[in-house]
Amino acid sequence: MPPDDDASPPVHEKEPPKPVDDRTFQLYDLRVEVVCPPGKRILCGAKPGDHFTLEGELLKLPPGQGFSIYSLGAVLPLLAAKQRVTSPYDWMATDAEVACPDPHCPSKLCIVRTGVRTFRREDVTVVPLPGPPSKSTPAPLRTVPAPTPSHIERPRSQPDASPRVFALMETAVEPPATPTPQPAETRSTDADADADQEDDQPAEFSDPCVLDYLRADWG
């Protein structure tokens, strides 16, 4: 009996890997299988039951079987995360189907965890594990907070200055008020007084004609 259109194959998973402390780690083996609804036209060239497996980093296809590069490109970004242990509430642990990248193709790819494989760290990488810091490791730099505006640093040129001096430096002093300039007082001198007296005296007539006229008039 063919499966229903909305039915999907069950996801069979083994027990999640248990952490061990012997420089090894565990990954899930995966099987990615094509799911085709019966009676629907498939545009990606896949047939029901086409699949590949992933063991570690090795992707394996059955002999004589091909796989669409577009379908493969849609599922590849999820495989590394699907190999790792995740929380049971993580969608990566429960969601298993990926749609075909062709929006007109009804096929799907189902990712199934099939088992657990153990790897030794030395077999897959040469990068050493980070260890505790050695004695030759320099100490971390201390972070000094930035001074506040009210903080005044002691001058280095005056190491023995009195604390009272710095207290006066920290006290805000208002600048003195600028006096209003007054007009300069005018002082009279002796020369100015003589000049005033000369201005008060009548001018002497030095014209001889005028003098003769005055004498004749006065008799």
Domain membership of residue 44 (yes or no) is: yes
Rounded CA separation 104/40 (Å) = 11
Mean pLDDT score, 106-112? 93
Its domain, for residue 70, covers 24-124
Distance CA 96, CA 91 (A): 9
pLDDT value for 7 = 44
Helix (H) or strand (E) holding 73: helix 69-83
Q: For residue 204, is it within any domain?
A: no
Global pTM? 0.50
Assess if residue 181 is contained within a domain. no
The residue that leads in pLDDT, 160 or 57, is 57
Q: Which residue has the tokens 């710095």?
A: 166
217 within a domain of the structure (yes/no): no
Domain-located, residue 76: yes
**Residue 84 located in a structural domain:** yes
For residue 214, the 8-state DSSP code is H
Residue 127 has pLDDT above 80, yes or no: yes
Contact in structure between 14 and 36 (CB atoms under 8 Å): no
Is residue 32 within 8 Å of residue 110, measured between CB atoms?
A: yes
Cβ-contact 153, 145 below 8 angstroms: no
Lowest mean pLDDT among 16-20, 29-33, 125-129, 145-149: 16-20
Number of domains in the chain: 1
Per residue in 61-96, pLDDT tens? 999 888 899 999 999 999 999 999 989 999 998 999
| Distance linking the first and last C-alpha atoms of the chain | 173
The verdict on residue 9 lying in a domain is: no
Is 91 within a domain? Answer: yes
